[in-house]
Chain A
Amino acid sequence: MARLIVTRLLTLIPMMFLITTVVFFLVHLIPGDPARLMVGGAHITPANLENIRKAYRLDRPLPEQYGLWVSDLLHGNLGKSYRQRTDVRTLILDRLPITMKLSVFSFIISLAIAVPLGIISAARRNSWLDVGATIFALLGASSPVFFTAILLILIFSFRLQWLPSIGAGDGGWDEFVHLLLPSLTLGISLAAITTRITRSAMVEALTQDYIETARAKGLASRSIVLKHALRNALVPIVTVAGLQFGFLIVGAVLVEQTFGLGGLGSLLIQAVQVRDYPVVQGATIFIAALFILINLGVDVLYGVIDPRVRYGGRA
């Protein structure tokens, strides 16, 4: 187990290097003069423009800018935002909590929808409930997150006026209420796939011989499904759910934008729009690192649930 973690951590190094390089040059390929955008375009004196270029190293050749940026990065310095003139690290850390809350909350909602729905579908195959769950999964998976978001806003805020659609509230209960709609949006999208996986895994588990044996022993149906089948179906569910947690961070970008949540996602989108290179680079790398680490965590968890993974590595 320790070896698995160490190997995976070591592969992080070349991977992060690759990501930084790609991100840097990709970002600088986008046309647009950041110095000019920084001051708004219309009016500026040449001296003023020159000051900005100097202050943000925009007057140097690209390879030199890259070298300086990487060396800063190794010192834990993500640079300064062109637009907000604040350390990128501060900007990211300021906004991280809300993105994490949104992700965790959505994740819980998605599991709360998907696992029971998947189990019921599998246990009552081809019933109207199963068909309903299939339709839900199909709709949830095909509707883009921002569309689901607008739909939920129109229903729950605009029409019914039940739930707020703006911001993250003032902590505690208020925050919970404010996060309901955004989390539901993400949760539904995620639940779609997890429902299907749960269903397939459960169907497979329920057709195994040991289930027949359990039935033959006269165990209650509920106990068979929840105790015997579910435990064995859990491995694929955890794998997929874990992978999805990584994608959640990406989905959060769009949801935050729609619900006016000041998380990492809205930071990134706004930065792209104004060519705020340091923020785009910093946030992308941060998200990439987070994604890799979460996947590592899932791999470890996978080993915990299924002992075969733990020992299989040595065979």
Chain B
Amino acid sequence: MIGRALTLLLSVGFLASLGAWLPQAVAVRLPGQHTGYEPVQPIAFSHRLHAGELSIRCTYCHWAAERSRHAGIPAASICMNCHRTVQVTMAGLRAEVEAAEREGRDTQPVSSPELQKLYASLGLGEGLEPDPALTPAPVPWIQVHALGDYVYFDHRAHVGVGVRCQTCHGPVETMERVRQVGTLSMGWCVNCHRDATEQGIDGRQVHASLDCSTCHR
């Protein structure tokens, strides 16, 4: 009797855990193969707008890619190079101008709600003046492309020989939100290394090592 009750109880528990898991079932991928991973970022930053429409070079923001193993997530201060002046999209600006005309008033300064988050992270308040009530805190971006801890990838080595960013990261300039495109698996890396050594990059001969120690150490 006790045994049957237990079976029932455990089955209920199992179904409950299954139910708890189902919503995230769509996100299940094998480790290292998270293609299509597209997390919602704390700021709705659009690569399509910046890298695509405005044609800003990738390395303007990810400047460390040329000089270090890490491409780096740009510091908020780098965004401010433009966004100290550019505080809203063209459409937003037009809407405000039209609204002002309609209401017969002077235009007001407007800024995008997403940019407000950036300004808050820098501790800037009204008129982009430092607000003592705000503590500067980094924007907690979510990492999309993650390699195993035993893999040592070096951006500098790849960018330096002319590998395009899109080769690994996909057409980021078309993405509203960054999505993982490559599998980032070892075979994926090795194939590219083999092809690059055989075919060169942009007609230039390169030596992409196939030694284990190139990535593992």
A binds B: no
